[in-house]
Structure 1
Amino acid sequence: MSKVSVSIPCYNAFSHDRGERWLRTAIESVLNQTYEEFELLLIDDGSEDGTAAVLEEYDDDGRVTVIRQENQGYPGARNTGLEEGDGEYYAFLGQDDRWEPTKLERQVAHLESEPVDVVHSNVRNVDEDGEQIGYRHKERPPRPDEPERFVEALFERTFVCIQSVLIRASAIERRRFDTDLSIACDIDMWIRIAGEHRFGYVPEALVEKRYHDDNVSSDYEQSFEELRTVLERAVEQYPYLQDRRDARFSQLHYGYGNNLLRDGRPRKARTQFKNALALDPTNVRAWVALVASVGGRRIGQRLLNLGRAVVRQ
């Protein structure tokens, strides 16, 4: 059996009243895997609350290594996992999330039977109370034997969830997550890797991804800036994406404007919708949103919801 290095960055888990419970659930979902040849690296990224005490409870488990470091942020903690792990494969989990018991077993089997270097899976999205709010994938991602199409798909939508990834050490050991990208560092990594390594897919939802107000990704303004940086880099790395650039950036500005409108900032939202239309005048959703933004927060959101329904028909 091949050893898997699993890392969980941990930082101030007690910032949410259920964070301690979520952290324990995440750790135990790894320890209860049906695939048993793994090491678990618990990386305390400079926590200032009771997180360290929770991690100490697992010190006696021979499969667990607790690493304490000064705060380096999310990508820095992920890099520590890459540097300290010594498995043939690497896997990643968040302190609020959970794996299904067969996650590693299913994915190791896929990597060892298919000509791919990375495998990811579907993901079940849940809210603070564990109630299902959707799935990551409604459609199957592009086939691994279509690498250019796969890169194009990653450019168009960020469908690879880091918590669902299992990757060969040979595909990632010389790479590091960009520490300047506290939210989009994983998206950046997968786009960089996809040009050289094939991605496989297991359609089952092997991960439960929790969404709540304390998620780093809930900062939509920083998410916009970082994703814009990642997409610009992608166009530089893969010149064949140039033809898709304007349409993709139009969608990016539309999404940012939509968040601004929800946040009660219609004037700034209108600027983003205009930016979206300057890049792609055929962006119907941006036209609808621009009209909606004139109506203020409440009326605008109703118009926006109506516009989405029209676009879907």
Structure 2
Amino acid sequence: MPVASIIVPAFNVAKTIAETLDALLAQTFQDFEIIVVDDGSTDRTVDVLENYSDDPRVRIVSQRNRGLAGARNTGIHEAVGTYIGFCDADDVWEPAKLQVHVNHLGRNPDIGISYSGSSLVDDEGTDLCIAQRPRLHGITAAHILKRNPIGNGSAAVIRREVFDEIAYRPRSERERCWFFDETFRQSEDIECWLRIALTTGWEFEGVSGLLTRYRVNSSGLSASTDRQLESWERVVAKLAAIQPAFFARHLKAARAYQLRYLARRAISDGQGERAVELSKASLSGSLRPLFEEPSKTLTTLGATMVLRYAGPAALGAMMPKKGPKS
């Protein structure tokens, strides 16, 4: 029985999945299994996976396309490890990542979700010199709603007991339990993390270091600020029924933070008008981000104005060589 299970959702990732699997197989902590869930790929993903079929550490599970949440749920259902990690098939774990998280969870029985910072890379795997450096300690449900310290779906390693506690089975489901909500095709991770924080006693805590290389896919779901905002609002609508007082207290500020984040995404995508729209909406919703994080908020506003009125070239000339933190 391996100590850890690493779940790799895979849909049309023939270009990147070998790099992902090679990095996982090279982890310094070796007591693991890798469960690759082929989520109905139509490209050469299955052919690439054949190269790993003889490795006893790798299991390949195929299913009809159910989306990222559905692939993760299938992986959790198949997993036997005490700890469960996720690595999307276009991301990369640094060699010591699993060891660091296993040690962290082993020393701290009250922590259910261990996560780390991430470095961001582009479609070709080139380092963007931008980092997600999240808050690591004292995490509450309010922090998750406002800033999602976990940051991305390849950053966390989680106790199996956490998923056992939040498992449910919709009436339409005939195969296995749900842990992530498969009705979401985006924001399924923040919905799950927030549901854990609101309904269980497990603690969230991060570890130092940039242990994941997270690919910012310009053609993927993360590129659309409209879809991101819509899915985030769906998360709020769903979970507000669980803890209405919590959302009444924190929602205005959380929405302002979300809009600021999306404005920064619009800036990264060169969408000046959209960045202006989102920045205005953030400020009109709540001034908490400005008061609590003035440097990041003012930087976002400044970059928005430069992009909108002077263009991408001017913004690029003003950016520091290593770029801003996310």
Q: Report the TM-score range of the alignment, normalised by the length of the smaller protein.
A: 0.7 to 0.9
Instruction: Give the counterpart letter for 2:213 in structure 1.
Output: E
Aligned to 1:119: 114
From the superposition, tell whether residues 283 and 78 of structure 1 become closer, same or farther in structure 2 (CA, over 3 Å). Answer: closer
- Can you list the C-alpha shifts for 1:160-217, whole angstroms capped at 9, x where unaligned? 0321211111101325111122121011111111232111221122111121323321
Q: Are positions 1:54 and 2:44 aligned together?
A: no
**Aligned partners of 1:43 and 1:67 also within 8 Å:** yes
Aligned to 1:185: 188
Q: Which moved more, 1:91-100 or 1:212-221?
A: 212-221
- Between the two proteins, the alignment pairs up a number of residues equal to 291
Supply the distance in 2 between the matched residues of 1:96 and 1:269 (Cα, whole angstroms): 27
Supply the distance in 2 between the matched residues of 1:194 and 1:270 (Cα, whole angstroms): 33
**Aligned partners of 1:117 and 1:198 also within 8 Å:** yes
1:71-86 matched pairs, under 5 angstroms: 71-86=65-80
Aligned to 2:207: 202
Instruction: Give the counterpart letter for 1:170 in structure 2.
Output: E
Measured after TM superposition, the shift of residue 301 of structure 1 is: 7.5
Q: Please report the TM-score for the alignment, with normalisation by the length of structure 2.
A: 0.77
**Aligned partners of 2:270 and 2:307 also within 8 Å:** no
**Aligned partners of 1:118 and 1:165 also within 8 Å:** yes
From the superposition, tell whether residues 30 and 151 of structure 1 become closer, same or farther in structure 2 (CA, over 3 Å). Answer: same
Corresponding residue SS for 1:124? strand
Supply the distance in 1 between the matched residues of 2:49 and 2:208 (Cα, whole angstroms): 32
Aligned to 1:154: 144
Aligned to 2:157: 166
Aligned to 2:251: 245
Supply the distance in 2 between the matched residues of 1:177 and 1:273 (Cα, whole angstroms): 30
Identity %: 27
From the superposition, tell whether residues 88 and 49 of structure 1 become closer, same or farther in structure 2 (CA, over 3 Å). Answer: same
Corresponding residue SS for 1:109? helix
Supply the distance in 1 between the matched residues of 2:307 and 2:129 (Cα, whole angstroms): 27
Higher fraction of helix: 1
From the superposition, tell whether residues 300 and 277 of structure 1 become closer, same or farther in structure 2 (CA, over 3 Å). Answer: farther
Q: Please report the TM-score for the alignment, with normalisation by the length of structure 1.
A: 0.80
Aligned to 1:215: 220
1:1-313 matched pairs, under 5 angstroms: 3-14=3-14, 19=15, 22-115=16-109, 116-127=111-122, 128-137=124-133, 140-143=135-138, 150-160=140-150, 161-173=152-164, 174=167, 176-195=179-198, 196=200, 197-238=202-243, 239-256=245-262, 266=273, 275-280=281-286, 297-299=308-310
Aligned to 1:146: none
Supply the distance in 1 between the matched residues of 2:128 and 2:284 (Cα, whole angstroms): 37
Supply the distance in 1 between the matched residues of 2:21 and 2:211 (Cα, whole angstroms): 15
Supply the distance in 1 between the matched residues of 2:266 and 2:223 (Cα, whole angstroms): 13
Measured after TM superposition, the shift of residue 92 of structure 1 is: 0.4
Supply the distance in 2 between the matched residues of 1:114 and 1:258 (Cα, whole angstroms): 35
Supply the distance in 2 between the matched residues of 1:124 and 1:264 (Cα, whole angstroms): 23
Supply the distance in 1 between the matched residues of 2:78 and 2:29 (Cα, whole angstroms): 21
Corresponding residue SS for 2:143? helix
Instruction: Give the counterpart letter for 1:181 in structure 2.
Output: F
- Can you list the C-alpha shifts for 1:5-48, whole angstroms capped at 9, x where unaligned? 1111111124xxxx2xx211100111111211111111111111
Instruction: Give the counterpart letter for 1:135 in structure 2.
Output: A
**Aligned partners of 2:94 and 2:211 also within 8 Å:** yes
**Aligned partners of 2:307 and 2:314 also within 8 Å:** no
Supply the distance in 1 between the matched residues of 2:196 and 2:289 (Cα, whole angstroms): 30
Unaligned runs of 5+ residues in structure 2 are 168-177, 291-296, 320-326
Supply the distance in 2 between the matched residues of 1:109 and 1:283 (Cα, whole angstroms): 34
Report the aligned-residue RMSD.
Answer: 3.2
Measured after TM superposition, the shift of residue 113 of structure 1 is: 0.8
Instruction: Give the counterpart letter for 2:67 in structure 1.
Output: G
Instruction: Give the counterpart letter for 1:151 in structure 2.
Output: A
Unaligned runs of 5+ residues in structure 1 are 144-148, 309-313
Instruction: Give the counterpart letter for 1:244 in structure 2.
Output: H
Corresponding residue SS for 2:154? helix
